[in-house]
Structure 1
Amino acid sequence: MNSYLKSPVIHIMVGQSPRETILSAHLALLQKSQWFAEACSSYSNSTPHDERIVKLPDEDLGAVGSFLEYLYVGEYTPRLLPGASGKAEDQVLEHTDDSQVDEAGDNLLRHAKVYTLAEKLQLPELKHLAHSKIHRINSTAKGELRYAKFVYENTSKDDETIRQPIASFWAHRSHVLRHEAEAEFKAMILEFPHFAFDILSIVLDQKEKGREKDKDHHSKSAKATAGGPADDGDGPITATKTPRTSRKRLRMSVV
């Protein structure tokens, strides 16, 4: 028998009255989270059963359920499965058809909520897992903006892990995507100036790199004319010529 089954059962109250839901889990597993370890530090087998309660009034029920599933099996639904190559970067989500599109951004939000909960509960491995699933979802402009709004509302401005890919996504595609959700894009810009700043910073950085590479291109061309080495032919990187990025796949098809 696994030792954690011998530890006290803790009741987790999610949501607020009259809609709260009570979930249960073993203390030994909950203690993998430093937040829960502190919240349950006074509980033991001698604590009355109905007094072993931890309240999470502002957390999403689905995210808490995914957290508990992760504690018990090391994953949460939908699971990551090996892709055709068997390599980690080619993993796919269980029961996911690449032709299906997350129209409203519900799937993006599901994993974003797990990510923010994992941040609160101090579980970096779960954060990484949730983030990796986000990048395997195809969505729409409106779905992406709904996801971006949640992230910019619920994460620190210093959290580049989840914010930077969002800003990069829009910086390289906003000239196309904003026309699919122009009103929502404008509202997002006005409500979250930092979102606009992050996008603008990336665009300006790319323009600056483009100018530097353009100078290098002309320098190489001059050398080639004078008998020096020829240019490599890559040309300058600009805001409308997307460079290679670390994104494993595009989460949205642009026509």
Structure 2
Amino acid sequence: MADSFSDDIIDDAPAGPGADVKMAEGADDNAAAAANGAELPFAEDGPEEAAAPRITFLQYLASPIVTLLIGTGENETILTAHQGLLVQSPYFAEACAEFIDDGSPRQVELPNEDIDAVGCFLEFLYTGDYFPRKIPGQRSLEKDTSVPEVDASGVQLLKHAKVYTLADKFGLRHLKNLASSKIHCVNSTAKGEIAYARYVYEYTPKDDTTIRAPVANFWATRSHTLRSEAEDEFRSLCLEFPQFGYDVLTRVLDEKLKRERNEKMHPGPSSARKRPRHSSTAAAA
């Protein structure tokens, strides 16, 4: 049916320039090539790659159990997870590659990691998200009755910041982006924001603008109003992390320069210089 339809179009088409005739002939040749199973000139080289078989959740659960040792000494916590899920992280894929199938324990030590952040990481592996989840269509999170609505201490901000740095270490980009998006959904105070800024500038690399730039922008645009609420903490943060003070100052100066350029390009009526007016007394003198 496809061949007859193509023939009808070509037969019914009005006679035109030679170029039109060649296009019709080319279409005919392509149809014949397709019918013979030959590759078209623009086809990919080689056969198409077969789609990878889908791994079912049951297969993940049937994988070996790995023990995670978080913390040290009296603060050590033991958690377990399925290896099939853990190896989605390059960090754990490398660690699990060292295991030997001889019945010996499969353990990964995480002495310096935050237990709550690891819990969020595991929750993400098993469910694709972690609590509190974002409310669809809103810039807010599910209500958590265990914490106040306004983060006065920075605890809620630090929770997502620690998940962010852990996801970066474990190589899970999606979890990293998810944690970053949740940070912007937390209502906090000046002191809470300073606690969060201190963590960011201590535990993230200098070139990580994804999380650092919003912190510097926040304080560059609001420090004149928020500094009074936590002036001592703000001063201490600037002295402890000079890079923070420099980033904030750079953005303040950039914004000032931008305003000056806009005023030069679009001067207002009040910006024009006026000749000085002399009083009649001064003129008479």
TM-score range, shorter chain: 0.7 to 0.9
Distance 2:195 2:208 in 1: 18
Query: Structure 1: which 4+ aligned runs deviate by more than 3 Å?
Result: none
Cα pair 2:157 2:186 within 8 Å, conserved: yes
* Residue 196 to residue 47, structure 1, CA distance change in 2 (3 Å): farther
**CA-CA distance at 1:5 after TM superposition:** 1.2
Classify the secondary structure of the residue corresponding to 1:43: coil
Q: Deviations over 1:89-146 (max 9, x none)?
A: x24211159x921111100000000000001001110010001100000111111000
1:178 aligned partner: 227
1:158 pairs, out of 207, 211, 230, with 207
Q: For 1:180-210, what per-residue CA distance to the aligned partner results, in whole angstroms no more than 9, with x for missing partners?
A: 0011000000000000010011111111111
- For 2:144 and 2:65, locate their aligned partners in 1 and report how far apart those are by CA, in whole Å: 34
What is the root-mean-square deviation of aligned Cα atoms in Å?
1.8
Structure 1 equivalent of residue 141 of structure 2: 93
1:24-173 pair list within 5 angstroms: 24-43=80-99, 46-48=101-103, 51-82=105-136, 87=137, 90-95=138-143, 100-173=149-222
In the other structure, the counterpart of 1:21 is 77
Q: Is the 8 A contact 2:151 2:187 kept in 1?
A: yes
Q: Is the 8 A contact 2:68 2:78 kept in 1?
A: yes
Q: Which runs of 5+ in 2 are unaligned?
A: 1-56, 270-285
Aligned to 2:28: none
Helix, strand or coil at the partner of 1:207: helix
Hey, what's the Cα distance between the residues in 1 that align with 2:102 and 2:199?
A: 38
**C-alpha separation between the residues in 2 aligned to 1:41 and 1:62?**
26
Q: Summarize the Cα distance change of 1:211–1:91 in structure 2 as closer, same or farther, 3 Å threshold.
A: closer
In structure 1, the gaps of 5 or more residues are 222-255
Which of 25, 46, 66 is the equivalent residue of 1:10? 66
Structure 2 distance, partners of 1:37, 1:47, is 19
What CA deviation, in whole Å up to 9, does each residue of 1:208-234 have, x standing for no partner? 11111011112x87xxxxxxxxxxxxx
Aligned length: 212
User: Scaled by the length of structure 2, what TM-score is found?
Assistant: 0.71
- What letter is aligned with 1:126? L
Superposed displacement of residue 43, structure 1 = 2.4
Matched, 1:209 2:234: no
* Separation of aligned partners in 2, 1:61 and 1:47: 29
Q: Which has the higher contact order (CA 8 A, sep 6+)?
A: 1
CA deviation after TM superposition for structure 1 residue 47, in Å:
4.1
Residue identity in the other structure for 2:124: Y
Amino acid at match of 1:9: I
1:220-249 deviations in Å (ceiling 9; x for gaps): 87xxxxxxxxxxxxxxxxxxxxxxxxxxxx
- Aligned pair in 2 of structure 1 residues 47, 78: CA closer, same or farther (>3 Å)? farther
TM-score scaled by length of structure 1: 0.79
Quick one: percent identity of the two aligned structures? 53
